[in-house]
Amino acid sequence: MYKRISAVLFPVVTILLIGSLMWGNQVKGERDAIAINAENQYQRAFHDLSFHMDRIHSEIGNTLAVNSASQGMHRKGLMNVWRITSEAQSEISQLPLTMLPFSKTEEFLSRIANFSYKTGVRDMTKEPLSENEVKTLKTLYTNSGEITKDLQKVQNSVIANNLRWLDVDTALSKQKEHANNTIIDGFKSVNKKVETYPELDWGPSVSSMYQQRSVKMLSGMPVTEEDITRKALKFADAGNNASCQVTENGKGTDWESYTAKVQSPNGKPLSMDFTRNGGLLTSYTDEREVGAKKVSVEDAMNKADQFLANKGYRNMKAVSADPYDNLVNFTFVREQDGVLIYPEKMTVRSALDNGEVIGFQASDFVYEHKDNREIPEAKIDLAEARKTLNTDFKELYNRKALIKNDRNEDTLCYEFGGRINGSQYRLYINADTGLEETVEVVKDAQAGIS
C-alpha cells in the first residue's frame, strides 16, 4: 500500500519541486531584469545631469561673452539656459534623492530657470540686461562651474569604480550612513556648497515667485478669538441660538489664522477661515449635502453674484464657470472703472439643486485687494490692439483687463474673446506694446460667460 502511495506521490512531488524551482528562477530573472532597467535609468539620468550642468555653465558664459548691445544673442542664450536647466531639474527628479539633502541645489536650479526665462522672454530691444542682471549672470557662471566640477568628480568615481545607484537607493531607504558611499557624499558636498552661496539679486519678478504669503503682508491689526466669533456669526447670518467654535492655527508662525465653525440648531455646520491680521475671510464652506441638479448654471451664477454683493464684495464679475455633477465653480474678479482686475479673484462654489452658494476661496482676493488700485492709461487704442489678432479669429467681445504678466507685474491689456479652429479663446493684448501677453482656451461651459 505504501509503495502504491509513494509511487503516486513521488512523481507529483517531483513535478511540484521542479515547477517551484522553475518559477523561482523565473521570478529571480524578472527581478534581475527590473533591477538592471532601474540601474540603467539611474545611470542615464545622472550622466545626463552632469552633461547638462556643464551646458548650463557654457551657455551662461556664451551669454556674457557677446557684446552688451547684442540683445538677440542675449535672448537666445538665456532661453537656452532656461531649456537646459529645465532638463537638469527633470533628471534630478528621476534620481533616488528624496531622502538625501539636495533641496538647496534644486532651489538654485529653479531660480536659474525662472531668472533666465523671465529675463529672456521680455523685449530686450526696449529693456536690455541691466547691470544687476549682468552681475547676477557672472555669479551664476562661477557657481555653475563649481557645481559642474563637483558632479564630474562624482561621475569619474562612478565610472572608475563601477558604482551602482541601486546601492544608493538601498542605503537611503534603510537610512544607513555609508561613509564610503561616493555618490551620497558627493551630492551632500554639492548641496552644502550651494548653501554657502550668498543671496543673489534675482529681480522682483523672480523673487516674488518664492515669496510666501504670510500675515506680515496684511496691514490690519491682529484680532482676537472674540472678534472672529463676532465676524463668523455675522457672516453666517446666525441667530442668537447658534454656537461658534474658534480654533487658532499656526501660532507663532508667519501663517497664523483662525478657523471658525458655526452651528445653528437646525442647520449643517458652516466653516470659515480668517487671517489673524485684519480678521479677513479667506474661505467659507457650507457642509450640507447637495441634492440632484435642478437649476441652470446661469441661475446659480445670478445667485452667486447676489450672494457676494450681500456679503460686501461689490463690483464682482463672473469670468468663468466649471460645472461638474451637481456643483459648479465660478471665478469672480473685481471690476474697477470698467477694467477687470484679475489678480483680485475668488472662486465660488454653488449647488445646482437650488443654486445657492455653498463655499468660496478668497485668498487671492484678500492678499491682492486694493481699494483704489492704480490703473495705468492705455498707450494704444482698441483698434490698434485688434490689428494683432489672427485674421481668422472671430471676435465675440472685448474689454479691458489688468493681469499679471510673466514677470509677475500688473499689466493693462485688451481682452478679446472669440473663436478660431473650432474652439473659443481669450487673448490678452498688452495695452502699451500691442503684443500678446497670454492666451487661454475657454471651456464650452464657460462660453456664455463674458
Choose one of 171, 188, 210: the last residue of a domain.
210
The C-alpha cell 468663468 sits at 320
Average pLDDT over residues 88-106: 76
Residue 1 domain flag = no
Average pLDDT over residues 141-152: 89
Average pLDDT over residues 75-99: 83
Q: pLDDT averaged over the chain?
A: 82
Supply the pLDDT for residue 179.
Answer: 42
- Indicate whether 201 and 333 sit together in one domain: no
- Indicate whether 307 and 387 sit together in one domain: no
Supply the pLDDT for residue 178.
Answer: 45
Residue 88 has pLDDT above 80, yes or no: yes
Q: Which three cell numbers stand for residue 21?
A: 524551482
446: nearest Cα among 397, 413, 406: 397
- Indicate whether 170 and 141 sit together in one domain: yes
101: Cβ contacts below 8 Å, ≥ 6 apart: 188, 191
H or E stretch including 336? strand 327-336
Q: What are phi and psi of 315, to 5 degrees?
A: 55, 40
Average pLDDT over residues 190-201: 75
Choice among 8-17, 223-232, 251-260, 433-442 with the minimum mean pLDDT = 8-17
Supply the pLDDT for residue 225.
Answer: 92
Average pLDDT over residues 221-243: 88
Average pLDDT over residues 8-32: 59
Give the CA-trace dihedral at 401, 406, 410, 411, to 10 degrees: -50
Of 154 and 399, which is predicted with more confidence?
A: 399
Of 60 and 99, which is predicted with more confidence?
A: 60
Average pLDDT over residues 406-432: 90
- Indicate whether 364 and 283 sit together in one domain: yes
Q: Which three cell numbers stand for residue 436?
A: 500678446
Asked if 447 and 432 touch (Cβ cutoff 8 Å), the reply is no
What is the tally of structural domains in the chain? 3
Residue 195 has pLDDT above 80, yes or no: no
Q: Is 338 left (phi over 0), alpha (psi -120 to 50) or beta?
A: left
pLDDT band at 98 (very low <50, low <70, confident <90, very high): low
Asked if 62 and 79 touch (Cβ cutoff 8 Å), the reply is no
Q: With pLDDT > 90 as the criterion, what percentage of the chain qualifies?
A: 34
- Indicate whether 356 and 227 sit together in one domain: yes
Average pLDDT over residues 56-70: 86
- Indicate whether 48 and 147 sit together in one domain: yes
What is the Cα–Cα distance from 164 to 183, expressed in whole angstroms?
A: 9
Choice among 217-226, 302-311, 321-330, 340-349 with the minimum mean pLDDT = 217-226
Residue 32 has pLDDT above 90, yes or no: no
- CA angle (11, 14, 20) in 5-degree steps: 140
Choose one of 158, 187, 210: the last residue of a domain.
210
Residue 358 domain flag = yes
Q: What are phi and psi of 335, to 5 degrees?
A: -115, 130
Bridge partners for 258 per DSSP: 248, 274
Asked if 225 and 249 touch (Cβ cutoff 8 Å), the reply is no
> 390: domain range?
382-446
pLDDT band at 202 (very low <50, low <70, confident <90, very high): low
Asked if 395 and 418 touch (Cβ cutoff 8 Å), the reply is yes
Supply the pLDDT for residue 204.
Answer: 55
Residue 358: strand, helix, or coil = strand
Supply the pLDDT for residue 226.
Answer: 93
Average pLDDT over residues 403-423: 89
Supply the pLDDT for residue 74.
Answer: 87
- Indicate whether 98 and 56 sit together in one domain: yes
Residue 321 domain flag = yes
Of 5 and 312, which is predicted with more confidence?
A: 312
- Indicate whether 341 and 288 sit together in one domain: yes
Choose one of 333, 368, 403: the last residue of a domain.
368
What is the Cα–Cα distance from 375 to 240, expressed in whole angstroms?
A: 44
The most distant pair of C-alpha atoms in the chain lies apart, rounded to whole Å, by 107
What is the Cα–Cα distance from 290 to 303, expressed in whole angstroms?
A: 16
Choice among 200-204, 238-242, 310-314, 386-390 with the minimum mean pLDDT = 200-204
**Alpha helices by DSSP H, 94-130:** 103-120
Average pLDDT over residues 381-402: 94
pLDDT band at 112 (very low <50, low <70, confident <90, very high): confident
Query: Could you tell me the CATH number of the domain that includes residue 396?
Result: 3.10.450.40
Residue 114 domain flag = yes
- Indicate whether 14 and 162 sit together in one domain: yes
Taking only the tens place, the pLDDT of each residue in 353-367 is: 999 999 999 988 988
Q: With pLDDT > 70 as the criterion, what percentage of the chain qualifies?
A: 80
Supply the pLDDT for residue 335.
Answer: 95
Residue 376 domain flag = no
The type of residue at 122 is R
pLDDT band at 12 (very low <50, low <70, confident <90, very high): low
Supply the pLDDT for residue 377.
Answer: 92
Q: What Cα–Cα distance (Å) separates residue 18 from each residue in 11, 24, 29, 355?
A: 10, 10, 16, 69
Choice among 199-203, 371-375, 428-432 with the minimum mean pLDDT = 199-203
Q: What is the DSSP string of 166-225?
A: HHHHHHHHTT---TT-HHHHHHHHHHHHHHTSPPP---HHHHGGG----GGG--SPB--H
Residue 3 domain flag = no
- Indicate whether 86 and 169 sit together in one domain: yes
Residue 4 domain flag = no
Taking only the tens place, the pLDDT of each residue in 425-448 is: 999 999 999 988 889 888 754 544
- Indicate whether 204 and 227 sit together in one domain: no
- Indicate whether 181 and 318 sit together in one domain: no
Choice among 292-296, 351-355, 370-374 with the minimum mean pLDDT = 370-374
Average pLDDT over residues 285-295: 90
The C-alpha cell 517531483 sits at 14
